[in-house]
Each structure stands twice: as C-alpha cells, then as structure tokens.
Chains A and B, each alone.
Chain A
Amino acid sequence: MTELIILLIAIPVVLLVAGFGFLRSRASSRKSEVRSQIKDLRAQSEPAPINAARSVEEDISGGDAEVGVQDEAESSKPASFRERLSKARAGLSQAVGSVFSSDISDETWETLEEALIRSDVGIGTTTTMVSQLKKDAEANSITDPAELQARLAELMAEELADSDRTLKSSTDATTVWMFVGVNGVGKTTTIGKIANAEIQQGSKVLLAAGDTFRAAAAEQLGMWADRSGAGIVKGGEGSDPASVVFDAIEAATARGADLVLADTAGRLQNKSNLMDELSKISRVAQKASGEVTEVLLVLDATTGQNGLSQAKVFSEVVGVTGVVLTKLDGSAKGGIVFAIESELGIPVKMVGLGEGISDLVPFEPAEFVEALVS
C-alpha cells in the first residue's frame, strides 16, 4: 500500500516536470526535434554514413604516415603487445578461415558481424563497420572472404590510427595523472604498474591514496608503493579524498617528485553524488601546485555495452583524456573501447595483460583490431 502511494506521488510529479520540459523544448525551436530524429535514426542502428565516410577520408589521408610510425614503435618494443596477446589467446582463437566458404555470401557477412558482436564491439558500431566494408569491397572488387576479413581489420585500424596515445607530462609543474572508473576494474593495480614503469625510467613518483571509501584500498596501494619504490600519501578511511589528493600534490612539489598518480574510489557512473565527489576531487587537484595532464578511465575488458556509458559520463564529469584497458589477457576482447574511441574520440593509451608488475603495455590498434575480427 505504501509503495503504491509513493508511486502515485512520484509518477505525476516527474511527469509534470517532464511535461513542462517537453513543452519548453517543443516551443523553443525545431532544432531539438531534428536532433531527436537523427538520434532515432541512429538508435535504429542505421549507420551514420556521412560521419563514417568523413572519418575514413581523414584516416586515409593521414593513414600512411601513422602506419610508419607504428612500425617503428613496434620494433623498438620487442615482444610486447602482439606476443603477449597471442600467448594469452593460444588455443582460444577459432579457425575463422575454415568457417568461410569460397564465395562471399550473406553468411560471410553474418560471420564477420558476429565476430565483432562477440568481441563486445556493439551492434551499432558493428553495423557501421560492416556496411562500410561492403562499400569498400564493392569498390575494390574483393571476392575472397579471407581477404574481406583482413580488410575489415584494416578499416577498423584506420579508424583508430589518428589518436595520440602518449601520456602527457607537465613541463613546468609536478605532473598529476588521475585514475577514475567503476568498481573493480583495476585502478589500484594499474597505478602500481605505471608507478613501476615510470620509476624504472628514472622518475620520482608519489602515489595519492584517494580511495578512502573501500576497505583496505590504501593498504593495497601501499603494497604497490613498496613494490615499485614510490612514495605514498594516505588519509584515513572515510576522510575527504579531495584533500588527500591535494596534500599529495603539495607534498610531491615540496619533495621535488616528478609525477603524482592519484587513485580514486571506484564508482558507478549513475551515482550522481559519487560523481559529484569525483568532480570535486578533480577541481581541487587542479588548484594544487601541480598540473593534471591526464585523467585516465580504467576499463575492464570484460565490460559490455555499459562501457560506452561509463566513458560518456566520466568524460562529462572529469574530462577523460585516455582509457586504460585492463584484463585483456582473459578471454574477453574489450571491443567496447573501439566504440569509445571511434564515437567519443577518447584514445586507448595502455593495456593490462596480466597480474605481474610489468604487465602493462602501450596500446597498439592493429594487433587489437586483429583480435576483434577473428
């Protein structure tokens, strides 16, 4: 009975507000109507041909140079992404070639589409990419299904080719990198790994234990500090995370450290109060003596379509500059980051490939995409 009563209140009140907003938005202009029509069209999973075509053009124009750069990068980093990924995938990958018949048929397209869906690329992006491939195949008269698969990988890699994946440092103040994300994605572990890598390159690193909510989160970060040789600034459990981060940045400047890695508590993106807290942490961090040059969204490779919503909301709140994709050494392929990068323009910067302290490597689009389409 109480439930129904509350419901009877809630529905009309929200409706009244909604109705008011509805009238206002209709009366104000037709723009929003057009916009929502476009949205509808998109939602019906039709590809957005204009956008897609444009980005391909851009990619092709800048494509060659990029590939060259990548090759160089690969050779200077032996046995990183590709080898580790294929090692993790050994025995998993299905022999896709054999699935294809000798001619391109409806079945071929379906197989390709299904591969992308199974990799969590998402139905919208999948439809866009496959229809792009169809046009491309027609234009280049591709008839071999296996070639088609390779071409799809190429197209997708081109889509990711233009992004800048370097982690930025400040030139004149203490560099601050903030790590955000939902619960359990591996923020703390990622910080430990990055701290280790940066220290090995000669940086002086300080960790900020900004996760004051989860039980023993600071202890966990403390163990990573010990392992990597980084300093750490902690607050008490339940203390204000913004001030912990602020103090850490001030301490880093005072001690002459180069880099502060700020941990934050995991939070689901639909919890508005927790997102407000994150926004405060970010604002306060910017007031400290350092410079926040990276806000990295840590994303679990097993995440499905919700990953896109995570990226959207976190970006709105704290301006995410890059994604760290963790746990890619499992059977999940993390395809949602393709949608995140192609739709929202947030580049994937690092990839976690294991539990060891050195198992975090730079992201390489070509290898990643290859895994998605197979």
Chain B
Amino acid sequence: MFQNLSDQLQSVFENLSKKGVLSETDVTEVLREIRLALLEADVNLDVVKELTEEIKSQAVGQKVHEALNPAQQIVKIVNTELGNALGGETYEVTYSSTPPTVVLMAGLQGAGKTTTSAKLAKWFKSQGRNPLMVGADLQRPAAVEQLKTLGGQIDVPVFSEPTDPVQVAASAIEEAKNTGRDVVIVDTAGRLAIDAELMEQVRQISDVVNPTHTFLVVDAMTGQDAVSVAKAFHETLELSGVILSKLDGDARGGAALSVKKVVGRPIAFAATGEKLEDFDLFHPDRMASRILGMGDVLTLIEKAEQTFDKEEAEVAAQKMLQGEFTLNDFIAQMQQIKKMGPLSNLMALMPGLPKEVKDVEITDNQVARLEAIVYSMTEQERENPDLIDSSRKARIAAGSGAEPSQVAALLTQFKQMRKMMKKMGGFGTKALKKGSRKGKKGKKGKKGGRVTAKGGRVTPKGTAPNKVEAGAGLTLPGLNSLSTSDIDEIAEKLGIED
C-alpha cells in the first residue's frame, strides 16, 4: 500500500533537528515528497510544479506551530492549498428564464456520459424538475438504447431520431417545449479531443441548443492527459463545470485537481457508485485528503451508513462509551464491518493510523481465526471476558485451533480497546454536546502507539498469560495516535458537513 504523505513527511522530519522556523532546505526536502505524492495520484506535472511553488512560498519562514509538529504543519499547508485549488465556489445550478434549461454533456469515449446523463436527470427530478434526455450519441452502437433503458428506470423520457446529432439536438428542444419539459440533458457521443471533425460537430450542437450548463465528464482514473483533454474541450465549448465519474474506484483522482486548475471551473458533481442514485454535488474538502492518500473519514462514514443497522450501532456505541462493550457486541459489529468490503481498504480510509498498522495485511483467514476464537468462548465468557483464566484460555485455544498466546493477545487488545473507548467516549460526547472545538492540548505523541513495533516478540513462550496482560508493550497500535485531537478533527469535519 502506498505510504501516505503524512507518514512520508514524518520520516523526512526524523532526520531534521528541531528548529523554531522551517528553513528553505527543510522545505525543499519536503517538497520532493509532496511532488512524489501528487504525481502518484495522477496530478498533472505542470499543476504539480505550480502547486509546489505555492506551497513553498507558504511554508518557508513559517514559525513552527506550538501544537503541531513540522510534518503536521506542512501537511496542513498542503491540505489547505489543495483545498483551495480544488474548491473555490461550489457549482450553482441555475435555470434558464426561458425554459427549457439545456445541459450539454461532453467527454472522451468511456468517460461515463450516458450513465451520468441519467444520474443527472434523476438529480434534476429530485429538485422538482421535469427533465428530458436526448440521445445525440448516434455513433456508439446501442448508445440510444442504453439511454432509453436508463430513462425507463428513472421514469424520464428520452428523445432521439436516426438523423444526425446536430439535428437531433435541435428537434429535442422543440420536443421539450411541446411536452413541457423544463430541463433538457443532451448526451453526446464520446470523442477524442484531437479529432477536429468531431470537436466541430459538438461545437455545432452547442450552437444549436445554446446550453445553460456545459459539463465535461471526466473519469476519476484519468492520468496526465486529463489536462490536454480539458483544455481542448474548454477551448471548443467553454465549459461551465466538470463532472467526475467513477470516483467510487480506488484511484486517488488527481485528475480532478488537474482539470480544475486548467479549466478554472468548478467540479460540479461526482458519481460515487454504479447505481443511479449514487451521484451528488462535489465535495472539494474530501478530495484533498484523498489525493494525498490521507484517509477520508467522510467516505468511511458513508460506507458505514450504507451497511450498518443504525439502531444496533447506536446501542453498541452507547455500550462502548460506557465501557460495557462485550465480545458478543464486537462479533456482531464485526459482521457489519465485513460487509463494507475488505478490511485493508477500510484501514486506508482511517485517519491517524500509524504506518505499521496500515501495512498489516489482514487476510480473510486472520479474520476467520479471530472469529473462531470468539466463537469458541461460552456465552458467559463473551459477556464477561474477565472470567477467562488460563485453563479456560487453553480450552478456547484448543477449540479454535489457535495458540493460547493468541487468545491472550486478543483478550488484552479487547480490554485495552474498551478502556480507551471509555475514555474517548467521555470526551467525544462532551465535545459534541457543547459543539465546541477543544484545544489541541490533548495531543499525544504518535510514538506512544508504536511501542509494540519495537517490542519484538510479543508473547514469549512460557510466559503466563496474566503476566503478558500486564506487559507495558502491549498497547493497541493506533489507538494512542487516534486521540482527542483526531476526534476533535472528525467532529469538526462533521460540523462543517452538517
């Protein structure tokens, strides 16, 4: 898994002495890492150069912030810069004073124009409009049939005729006027930006329908070429915004940044799944940390919301905050989380995890082993893990085909997590109730969570399990670093979101 920027920066700064002010050499070193991270995320090279210059001018001479270490400080600057570069004003969907409001969709082949057209139509419907979709892609076999099928699914009519694309577009406007449709979405054929003939054709379509909104549909997986494509389409059509498709993949989506920089128009919408309702206005704040590979709490929450049984989760959370979380609850929540996809994918989305933890490969076998251990416990043991003494441990180990030391490790981790959650719970709920942003004073050093990494063999043979539990080296990796300030940050993000 690719190291995230904050870890990379961390390692750079380990070699630097602590100084009051970031010097130019410090910054140069750091900029190299930022450059790598951005290029790895498919941000266009020219855009990377421009951005790193901006970040440099911001960072040099900055006083080292009291609460933040230099790495965090740089990350903050980078994040802010990226946020600015991506964001600006959000896209405002306006409507023509003389209906219909025309929306023109353009892009390369396979970018997702047809599906996006249907998603957009559904979105307009949810805004109380009456859209008409126009199949002006007469080139790709069955493109119009695809649009018609999609139209059927969302109950939006589709207009097309086997003439030529410009003619279709012109007639469609008449059709909309006659049938009282107030939004017209014109789906055009995919075309290469360097195909002069087809670019001229889409310009003619644009002239004929005089669109209120012209969207370029860009695949989130696009590489360096995104810039030249966006440029060419912008010169031909004068885009009003961009729609990012296939953002539900695992691409970092640097293309979003490239396109935004070049076209200077906002990214209006993003498609976040295959279903027609997986489509919404774009959130620039999430995109910045995604491009940097820094975890994306909001995406995590969204995933969780889709799969979790809310009431059950609330009860479990309540128990957790009060320190009453049992292994039964754990196994139940575990089943929910497994539905969210491979655990390693989820971990990539988690903020504040140290690299050691993120690099652990969690296989299905390991998860199954863990489940086997818990299922080998009696109901009582699961409700009250304190019951488990060494003979019970031996029985559980034999029942699950595990080593007694593994059972011990699981129990230790579980108890520690419970303790930690109880502490965090007190803080989290307080912060939420007040809606206040607590100071960053509670920040603990990340180092604390890594003790195990240096502890070598964790469960020496022949050591009594109880002794292991008391061992100082057995902290749960990651939890220390995910302390008050992270929770604060999460709360802050949520606050902004709501």
> Measuring CB to CB, which residues of chain A are less than 8 angstroms from any residue of chain B?
1-27, 36, 39-40, 43-45, 88, 92, 114, 117-120, 122-123, 182-186, 192, 213-217, 219-220, 222-224, 237, 268-272, 300, 302-307, 309, 327, 329-333, 335-336, 355
Contact = CB atoms under 8 A, between A and B. Distances in A.
Interface string B250-283: 1110110000000000000000001000000000
B229 interface: yes
Contacts of B225: 120, 302, 330-333
A4 B109 CA distance: 40
Contact of A6 (B142, B221, B308, B341): B308
6 contacts: A9-B333, A24-B409, A118-B224, A220-B140, A271-B248, A304-B255
A186 B219 CA distance: 14
A7 B410 contact: no
B3 A43 contact: yes
B491 interface: yes
B228 A331 contact: yes
Contact of B251 (A6, A23, A183, A304): A304
B478 interface: yes
A19 B478 contact: yes
Contacts of B112: 183-184
- Give 4 nearest A-B pairs by CB, closest first: A304-B223, A184-B110, A304-B42, A215-B149
Contacts of A21: 360-363, 366
Given A9-B320, A10-B300, A220-B142, A18 B410 contact: no
Contacts of A16: 330, 413-414, 417, 476
B476 A216 contact: no
B313 A18 contact: no
Nearest to A336: B223
A327 B417 contact: no
| B interface SS class | helix
A284 to B, nearest CB: 22
Interface in B1-45: 2-3, 8, 36, 39-42, 45
A13 to B, nearest CB: 5
B114 to A, nearest CB: 8
Interface in B202-246: 219, 221-226, 228-229, 245-246
B252 to A, nearest CB: 7
A2 B314 contact: yes
Interface in B362-376: 362-363, 366-367, 370
B304 interface: yes
A308 B490 CA distance: 32
A184 B246 contact: yes
Given A215-B149, A302-B108, A330-B108, A20 B366 contact: yes
Given A16-B417, A16-B476, A123-B36, A3 B305 contact: yes
B428 A219 contact: no
Interface stretch (B61-69, B121-129, B392-400, B451-459): B451-459
B421 interface: yes
B387 interface: no
A22 B255 contact: no
Interface in B142-161: 142-143, 145-150, 153
B109 A14 contact: no
Given A120-B223, A185-B110, A306-B42, 8 more contacts: A2-B313, A9-B333, A17-B370, A21-B366, A44-B3, A45-B36, A117-B39, A214-B146
B249 A269 contact: yes
A324 B255 CA distance: 23
Contact of B224 (A120, A213, A272): A120
A19 B250 CA distance: 24
